[in-house]
Amino acid sequence: MLTLAIIKPDALQARNAGKILAQLEAAGFVVRAARLVKLTTTQAEAFYEVHRARPFYRPLVTFMTSGPALVLALERDNAVAHLRDVIGATDPAEAKPGSVRKLYGASKERNAIHASDSPETAAREVAFFFAEGELRELG
Ligand code: CMP
């Protein structure tokens, strides 16, 4: 099963991307596709469309377009639930010890990494960034 992760601009800026990717690989995820992107405002707005009515939407779009981000299509069994477990709670202060957000996040907004929140969202989010032909074959 595939899920989408985005190592966010705060983590790239702090040069934590390599450590985060190593942690994801150690947790059993295989990178099927990866791209360094600088999201446009239109892309970030579309990606976070479900949050459009929330007070944090505009600052989130501004933050996500503030610098490069590393987008990853990740494979493992039960990928969505496992990735959410590895990254921890949205608020780094509440994330479990050793989780990516606890280790590298600074705030609810600057929380180092995004992960898809359901299998349906994962399918949409992977397709948002990657065409079928861009996914590396397993094996
Ligand atoms: P992410 O997994 O990228 O999905 C939506 C993002 O919105 C979330 O991580 C946070 O970065 C951000 N977010 C969610 N809730 C809040 C909040 N209360 N304040 C600021 N940002 C938030």
Task: For residue 31, tell me if it sits in a domain.
Answer: yes
Task: For residue 139, tell me if it sits in a domain.
Answer: no
Measured by CA distance, the residue closest to atom 4 of ligand 1 is 114
- CATH number of the domain bearing residue 114: 3.30.70.141
- Tokens linked to 103: 């280790």
Question: Which of 111, 113, 124, 129 has most ligand 1 atoms within 8 Å of CB, for mutation?
Answer: 111
Cα 131 to ligand 1 centre (Å)? 26
Predicted confidence at residue 138, as pLDDT, reads 84
Task: For residue 62, tell me if it sits in a domain.
Answer: no
- Tokens linked to 129: 């960034």
pLDDT tens-place string over residues 33-85: 999 999 999 999 999 999 999 999 999 999 999 999 999 999 999 999 999 99
Task: For residue 117, tell me if it sits in a domain.
Answer: yes
111 lines ligand 1 (CB under 6 A): yes
Q: Which domain holds residue 8?
A: 2-39+69-134
Q: Which amino acid makes up residue 103?
A: L
Task: For residue 79, tell me if it sits in a domain.
Answer: yes
Number of domains forming the structure of the chain:
1
Predicted confidence at residue 139, as pLDDT, reads 75
Quick one: average pLDDT of 90-96?
Answer: 98
Residue 90 reports pLDDT greater than 90? yes
- pTM value is 0.97
Q: List the catalytic residues.
A: 114
56 lines ligand 1 (CB under 6 A): yes
b/e 70-88 (16+ beta carbons within 10 angstroms → b): bbbbbbbeebbebbbebbb
Task: For residue 127, tell me if it sits in a domain.
Answer: yes
114 lines ligand 1 (CB under 6 A): yes
Q: How far apart are CA 7 and CA 17, in angstroms?
A: 7
Cα 133 to ligand 1 centre (Å)? 30
> Contact 71/35 with Cβ under 8 angstroms?
yes
Cα 33 to ligand 1 centre (Å)? 24
pLDDT tens-place string over residues 112-126: 999 999 999 999 999
Quick one: average pLDDT of 80-108?
Answer: 98
Measured by CA distance, the residue closest to atom 11 of ligand 1 is 109
